[in-house]
Amino acid sequence: MTTVEHSAILPASPEQVFDLLERVEDFADYSDLITAIEAQGNEHYRWYVHAIGVDWTFDVKVTEKTRPRVLAWESVDGVSNQGRYELEAVPEGTRVKLTLEYEIRNRLVASAVKRAAQPLVGKVSSQILRRVEDRLEGKY
């Protein structure tokens, strides 16, 4: 699996940040690359993503939800991936760390994705966290 990490500091408490991150279906509002997220019930979600010119669909389940410190998931269908948000109180607010691991079995597609993954995940993560911050500040 390939691992990509991203972190940022948001000027809000871990509880406030976690309350927004745990509303998984709202992530479609936070990133231009996420076209939709459908709640499937029982902490399962179907994600629709358009990235590097390709439409991706995958189902994930939340595997850990420890308010206000950890939100983790893993795929159950589609693109093999697992991820984890870790939140830590810091003097400026909350440090949010995203760790994402994925595996694409098609070698041609995997090669293209690997070249684009780090900047792509960084872009999506930055966009999500920026829009979460805007929502916390009442801007979005």
Which residue type, as a one-letter code, is found at position 136? L
Choose among 112, 136, 127: nearest CA to 32. Answer: 127
Q: What is the pLDDT of residues 49-99, one digit of tens each?
A: 887 788 888 899 999 999 999 999 999 987 788 999 999 999 999 999 999
**The domain that contains 83 carries what CATH number?**
3.30.530.20
Q: What is the pLDDT of residue 120?
A: 64
Total domains, the chain: 1
Q: Between the CA of residue 16 and those of 77, 107, 123, what are the distances in Å?
A: 30, 41, 22
Q: Identify the residue with better confidence: 29 or 119.
A: 29
Range of the domain at 133: 2-137
Indicate yes or no: pTM above 0.95: no
